[in-house]
Amino acid sequence: MDEDRPRLGARDLRDRLQTLKQFGCTVLVTGNVSEEVSREMTRKLLGSPEESRTRILALTDQDRGDVPDLLPGDVTASDGDVYVADYGGTRAASPASVESSDADWRCDDLDVLRGRLCETIATAKMASSGFESGELRVSVFTLSSLLARHDSAAVEQFVSTVADHVRGVRGMGHFHLPVADDAEVVRRLAPLFDVRIELRETRGAPEQRWHFSDCDAPTEWVGL
């Protein structure tokens, strides 16, 4: 069992995370948790609002009204370095509740979504005259909706292509899949990612642990 195998020490974990940030990475976020916990994880992975970041948020099963709960701190959808992709969402929010920018766009075709995300990464890179390591943050919220609409091969192609573009500019991309970490779909998709974050809620407090492909056991559970 995982509990019987040695885990990464704190220093090793910091070194690994620094390497992932330096060279770019993609993260699969799993776990049967409440939507609020998933949103909290998204805010963290999109980066501190005090840091200069270009953020791309792809909504697949959320409405525009949910955007403020997914962006960190005082970051808003109208900021010049924030891009929101609405994949067939309802756009239920009124302009008074959610500001939008000219960078926002909507589509309902997976190939179009993939192409537009990759195009947006390239456009944002040119606008920023290149990215520093970890400056680009991409969030796909969630893969569950895509898997419900498309066959697994199409979703895997989508993930692989977007991941290649994220790594190509040393960015960090995370894809939410809110199911049990030992689910078959997780085992199938996990090899496409550099690391996996498993979430859980215990006694009302959210926790996380990290899984690395070259390490036999995950890290210890720590607070979110």
Q: Which range has the worst mean pLDDT, 101-105, 130-134, 182-186, 189-193? A: 101-105
Strand order in the sheet with 105-107: 105-107, 82-87, 54-59, 136-141, 172-177, 25-30, 195-202, 205-212, 222-223
Instruction: Provide the pLDDT confidence category of residue 65 given band limits of 50, 70 and 90.
Output: confident
* Alpha carbons 208 and 30: distance in angstroms, whole number: 10
- With beta carbons less than 8 A apart as the criterion, state whether 6 and 153 touch: no
- The token pair that represents 105 in the structure block: 């766009």
Q: Structural domains in the chain? A: 25-90+99-223 (3.40.50.300)
* Alpha carbons 38 and 29: distance in angstroms, whole number: 8
pLDDT at 197: 96
